[in-house]
Structure 1
Amino acid sequence: MSQTTDTAAAAIKAAITENPVMLFMKGTAMFPQCGFSARVVQILTHSGVPFKTVNVLEDPELRDGIKAFSNWPTIPQLYVKGEFVGGCDIVTEMFQSGELQTLFEQNGIAKTAAT
């Protein structure tokens, strides 16, 4: 592994360790820059759980690093309690089936106050 890859991996590990619900995406939660990222933000917002995001477009090293870290070729990528959940299709399917909400509950991720 190169020094840069190690740095990206360390940043990714820190982000998913420190944030119970972590989304690596293109753009920001307020301004997603791809439809798939926008959809996952919409699902997380609808689910009412607090989440943090990292804009991979701001850091090419991180964008490549997250793909290697998860062994998953696409972005967005959702992590819950440090575990890789999946990308847009998987998150959408889990949301529609109720599995995503169950995953949040099992991991003790409380919904924020209703808006």
Structure 2
Amino acid sequence: MDVQAKIKETVSANRVVLFMKGSPKFPQCKFSNVATQILDACGAKFVAIDVLQDMDIREGIKQYANWPTIPQLYVDGEFIGGADIMRSMYQSGELQTLLAKA
């Protein structure tokens, strides 16, 4: 299975997916840390994919969403954004509404 198909399968099979550097318990960059804190504050159950464990996914995810940075949040198969977008959506209450549906 090619990396794009693998990513598509992951975001389709799980309602909330965060592609990040490290794990929720041990984030490896400040933006991944912020992203997991926001999701935790929303009480979201999510699947975390550590891009540092797989270079194909690390590069492939950037092409998948046409978005150059990690972390990347997907809800119901749709690309939402990175840490800055998550932060502004959280502050406006939009992210909580989106996650409540998920």
**TM-score, structure 2 length as denominator?**
0.96
Give, in whole Å, the separation in 1 of the partners of 2:6 and 2:98.
Answer: 24
1:86 maps to a residue whose letter is G
Identity of aligned residues (%): 53
CA distance in 1, matches of 2:2, 2:29: 26
Q: What is the aligned counterpart of 1:26 among 4, 21, 25?
A: 21
2:2 aligns to what SS in structure 1? helix
Q: Could you tell me how far 1:10 is from its partner in structure 2?
A: 1.1
TM-score by length of 1: 0.86
TM-superposed deviation, 1:7: 1.2
**1:3 equivalent in structure 2:** none
Paired residue type of 2:67: W
Equivalent residues in 2 for 1:17-96 (5 A)? 17-96=12-91
Distance apart, 1:104 and its partner CA:
1.7
In the TM superposition, what whole-angstrom CA distance separates every residue of 1:40-71 from its partner, at most 9, and x where no partner exists?
00000110010001000111111110000000
Distance 1:97 1:31 in 2: 27
Are the counterparts in 1 of residues 42 and 99 from structure 2 also a CA contact under 8 Å?
Answer: no
Residues in 1 aligned to 2:42 and 2:97: alpha-carbon distance in whole angstroms: 11
Q: Determine the C-alpha separation between the residues in 2 that align with 1:65 and 1:83.
A: 16
One-letter amino acid of the counterpart of residue 70, structure 2: I
Tell which structure's C-alpha radius of gyration is larger: 1
After TM superposition, what 4+ stretches of structure 1 lie above 4 angstroms from structure 2?
A: none
Instruction: Give the aligned CA root-mean-square deviation in angstroms.
Output: 1.0
Structure 2, unaligned stretches of length 5 or more? none
> What per-residue deviation string (whole Å, max 9, x for no partner) do you get for residues 54-101 of structure 1?
000111111110000000000000000000000000000000110101
Note the alpha carbon deviations across 1:7-60, whole angstroms, 9 max, x for none. 111111111011100000000111100000000000001100100010001111
How many equivalent residue pairs?
102
In structure 2, C-alpha distance between the alignment counterparts of 1:11 and 1:41, rounded to whole Å: 22
